[in-house]
Amino acid sequence: MGASPIVVAEGLTRHYRVALKEDSLLGTLRHFLRRRYQTIRAVEGVSFRILPGEVVGFLGPNGAGKTTTLKMLTGLVHPTRGKALVAGHVPWRREKAFLRKITLVMGNKQQLIWDLPAMDSFRLNAAIYEIPEGEFRKRVLELAEMLSLTEKLHQPVRKLSLGERMKAELLAALLHRPEVLFLDEPTLGLDVNAQVAVREFIREYNRRYGATVLLTSHYMADIAALSERVLVIHQGRLLYDGALEGLLARFAPYREVRLTLGSPLPREALLPFGEVRALEGREGRLLVPRERLTERVAEILKRLPVEDLEVREPPLEEVIAKVFQSPKEAV
């Protein structure tokens, strides 16, 4: 028999009731006398299961319900209805044993004390989680080495770069060695090198400790590098749950052909071979149906002055955009 899921969401739903208010003075008076309300359906009946050790990407546009779902799974928000189990616990009970098994890292929030060295915040976390001094030092040194942060532990947090602060946030969040990591935009705002470093750390941490990871990110490179399975959410509803490759096959039934031409050509010259997505000077980009790829590439090489040709999968950003444009197809 296979392993039991470590994260279970069944029909998770979260509605918010917000008061409606007009901008005018009359509207303000009405607001005091007789308030009108609107129900915001942040998450609507989301269900999925995650096995121990999986790294799952959680995709969706702003306002889709990703962060609200993570907050329910970590117990910060109580669902309107639905059930959840994380590491054998009901999250919103916030039991001490549960809190020792999970962590939530949000790229736009910080837990480190701004004017103190990161090491002081680590010591505070160690006290909260009752980590013995010897074990604390061992874990800090190990994680700092994995994050290339060893030389920065005693610098005030305000003097660290954004990438270094994010690494320190990860170190603080992982000191208690959680089984389940909920990561909400951990590379938000970081430069490319810092993004790669954080990505590699998450991959190595998952490999070394078998931690389960649910990761949201606007950077498709994060998802492609770390997740074989993705969840796609739109307007609070789960649209897709499956392999990343399956998402590409289902919503990108074409391949991208990149061309370097011997001389510039008008757009019309490329139209017979596929959908022209870009053409600038001698560089062109076409989308070609997968089933006609071999035939079209042969025609391109025969009829156009091609210096170089490359076939690749279309950018993941385009695939995800297509999912959101046709959500009914995803169900």
Domain termination residue (choose one: 248, 267, 302): 248
- Written as tens digits, the pLDDT of the chain (331 aa) is 568 999 999 999 999 988 776 677 666 666 666 777 788 999 999 999 999 999 999 998 888 899 999 999 999 999 999 999 999 999 999 999 999 999 999 987 888 999 999 999 999 999 999 999 999 999 999 999 999 999 999 999 999 999 999 999 999 999 999 999 999 999 988 998 999 999 999 999 999 999 999 999 888 889 989 999 999 998 899 999 999 888 877 777 888 999 999 999 999 999 999 989 899 999 999 989 888 999 999 999 999 999 999 998 787 777 777 777 765 555 4
Closest of 270, 271, 273, 258 to residue 307, by C-alpha? 258
Same domain, 161 and 282: no
What's the pLDDT score for residue 32?
A: 66
Q: What angle do CA 83, 85, 86 make, to 5 degrees?
A: 145
What's the pLDDT score for residue 107?
A: 86
Same domain, 86 and 155: yes
What's the pLDDT score for residue 249?
A: 75
Question: How far is 227 from 247, CA to CA, in rounded Å?
Answer: 12
Q: What is the pTM of this model?
A: 0.82
- Write the CATH number for 303: 3.30.70.980
- Write the CATH number for 70: 3.40.50.300
Same domain, 109 and 236: yes
What's the pLDDT score for residue 35?
A: 74
Domain total in the chain: 2
**Is the CB of residue 28 less than 8 Å from the CB of residue 22?**
yes
Same domain, 219 and 264: no
Domain termination residue (choose one: 220, 248, 276): 248
Same domain, 174 and 242: yes
User: Could you list the residue range(s) of the whole structural domain that residue 118 is in?
Assistant: 7-248
Please indicate, yes or no, if residue 151 is contained in any of the structural domains.
Answer: yes
